Amino acid sequence: MSVAGSFRLTRDDFLLEVELELPARGVTALFGRSGSGKTTLLRCLAGLERSEGWLSVSGCRWQDREHFLPVHRRPLGYVFQEASLFPHLRVRDNLRFGYRRVPADQRRIDFDETVRLLGVETLLERYPQSLSGGQRQRVAIARALLASPRLLLMDEPMASLDAASKAEILPYLEHLYTHLEIPVVYVSHALEEVARLADHMVLMEAGRVLATGPLHELLIRSDLPLSHADNAAAVLEARVAGHDAEQQLVMLECDGGQLRVSCPPAQAGKRLRLSVKASDVVISLAPPQDSSVLNCLPARVSEIADDPHPGHVLVQLTVGSQALIARIPREASRRMALHSGMSVYAQLRGTALA
Ligand SMILES: Nc1ncnc2c1ncn2[C@@H]1O[C@H](COP(=O)(O)OP(=O)(O)OP(=O)(O)O)[C@@H](O)[C@H]1O
């Protein structure tokens, strides 16, 4: 574990009390209701809040009972909701600002590669006010990275963007995160965003950690609120196997079967993540012969739990070594005599590429 710590902080009647252990690389989502303490925890990691406890990053103590490394001495990048670029500097000089402050022998991030990863090559001579919100945010992320941080903190970096700008920036973030060797802590309200970007999750409630673990596990746990949300979804990892040009479908292999999805052609072998909503999974006892649903995977029922949506149950399914959740009418579950361990078929109605 490269980021570990314990934090205790009181603000009026709010108490943050958190123990953390995060993986050395990959994206950890801090997720929870408004007011659960996500930003406060991020600020503690940054040293913007002087909390009790300790923090260790990549083997270095950033704070403990004896000492407290102030924010300007912590090697971290912080990306806020609104990109805070220097308006009087061109993009190139904004990017050089943090880069130059790191001695050459301590730089771990290459200027040109970062510029390419975030697709800002053509923006270098422009001033921030001439950029779109999504472009500005990409520059802000590049600037944070060029300071060679040991930890990248992102506080709802897409919250101020419209849907089109979010759609524009997401592929850059995905691409970036697969290349980054540093841990990223990402605060978001949006489950879809988290399902697409994160590997690990810290689920917060009222200043405490309700659950922590791999994202795909937390999303489907029936004892956690995520699986009961209207937009509850599971994630499936898949690999591009080919492209059916005639039908305009991309063929995917996933552990558990094959899928066909309608999306732009992608290179064979590329790894993709699918987000499959619980409300888009239909359970049948036999493979459908006459259905318009394209994708159907053999599955096994692993759990049937109550669901807060009236008249429904939440069925957890195992597909190969992966899992799905299905929200189906309680009456259908009774009629099909669904029970744990039963073999069924999962039809995926709206498999969205996430
Ligand atoms: N400086 C402060 N003084 C008093 N209370 C504060 C202060 N900063 C935060 N709080 C309180 O701490 C709690 C947690 O706030 P925080 O912003 O960390 O939550 P959050 O999960 O990030 O919320 P959101 O998703 O709305 O941004 C809230 O009840 C907030 O009112």
The amino acid that residue 191 corresponds to is L
Q: Is the CB of 150 under 6 A from ligand 1?
A: no
Distance in Å, CA 31 to ligand 1 centroid: 14
- Atom nearest to 189 CA in ligand 1: 25
State whether the beta carbon of 51 lies less than 6 angstroms from ligand 1.
no
Residues 17-52 as b or e (16 or more Cβ within 10 Å = b): bbebebeeebbbbbbbeeebbbbbbbbbbbbbbebe
Question: Which protein residue has the closest C-alpha to ligand 1 atom 1?
Answer: 11
pLDDT of residue 351: 59
For ligand 1, atom 5, the nearest C-alpha belongs to 11
Torsion of CA 283, 287, 290, 293, to 10 degrees: 50
Distances (CA, A) of 309 to 228, 325, 331, 332: 8, 14, 13, 14
Q: Which residue's CA lies nearest to atom 7 of ligand 1?
A: 11
Could you tell me the CA-to-CA distances from 35 to 38, 206, 208 in Å, in that order?
8, 7, 11
**Amino acid found at 148:** S
User: 354: Cβ–Cβ under 8 A, 6 or more apart, which residues?
Assistant: 192, 195, 196, 233, 235, 273, 274, 275
Q: How far, in Å, from the CA of 48 to the mean position of ligand 1?
A: 14
Residues of the chain with pLDDT under 70: 1, 351-354
Q: Which atom of ligand 1 is nearest to the CA of 43?
A: 18
Question: Which residue has its alpha carbon closest to ligand 1 atom 12?
Answer: 14
Most informative mutation of 7, 10, 12, 14 for ligand 1 (most atoms within 8 A of CB): 14
According to the model, what pLDDT value does residue 301 have?
Answer: 98
Ligand 1 atom closest to Cα of residue 30: 21
Q: Is 188 in the pocket of ligand 1 (CB under 6 A)?
A: no
Sign of the alpha-carbon torsion through 306, 309, 313, 317:
negative
- The CATH class given to the 3-220 domain equals alpha beta
| Residue of 232, 231, 250, 254 whose CA lies nearest to 242 | 250
Mutate to test the pocket of ligand 1, among 15, 36, 81, 208 (most ligand atoms within 8 A of CB): 36
Helix (H) or strand (E) run with residue 5 in it: strand 3-11
ipTM of the complex: 0.95
**Quick check: CB of 75 below 6 Å from ligand 1?**
no
Q: Where are the domains of the chain?
A: 3-220, 233-353
* 202 contact partners, CB below 8 Å, separation of at least 6: 20, 22, 28, 29, 30, 31, 209, 212
Picking from 174, 348, 157, 172, the residue whose alpha carbon sits closest to that of residue 273 is: 174
Query: Measured in whole angstroms, how far is the alpha carbon of residue 168 from the centre of its chain?
Result: 16
52 C-alpha to ligand 1 centroid (Å)? 17
Please, are residues 241 and 275 in contact by the beta-carbon 8 Å criterion? no
Enumerate residues 6+ apart whose C-beta is below 8 A from 330: 311, 312, 313
In the reported structure, the alpha carbon of residue 40 is separated from the centroid of ligand 1 by a whole-number distance in angstroms of: 6
Q: Report the nearest-CA residue for atom 24 of ligand 1.
A: 34
Instruction: Tell me, in angstroms, the distance from the centre of ligand 1 to residue 39's CA.
Output: 7
Complete edge-to-edge strand list for the sheet that includes strand 233-244:
257-261, 249-254, 233-244, 271-277, 352-353
pLDDT the model gives residue 283: 96
Q: Ligand 1 pocket, 14 CB below 6 A?
A: yes
pLDDT number for residue 1: 53
Ligand 1 touching residue 34 (CB < 6 A): yes
Residue nearest to atom 25 of ligand 1 (CA): 34
Question: Taking the alpha carbons of 320, 25, 46, 166 in that order, is the dihedral positive or negative?
Answer: negative
Whether ligand 1 lies within 6 angstroms of the CB of 40 is answered as yes
> Class for domain 233-353, per CATH?
mainly beta
Of 243, 277, 237, nearest in space to 263 by CA: 243
User: Which pLDDT belongs to residue 248?
Assistant: 84
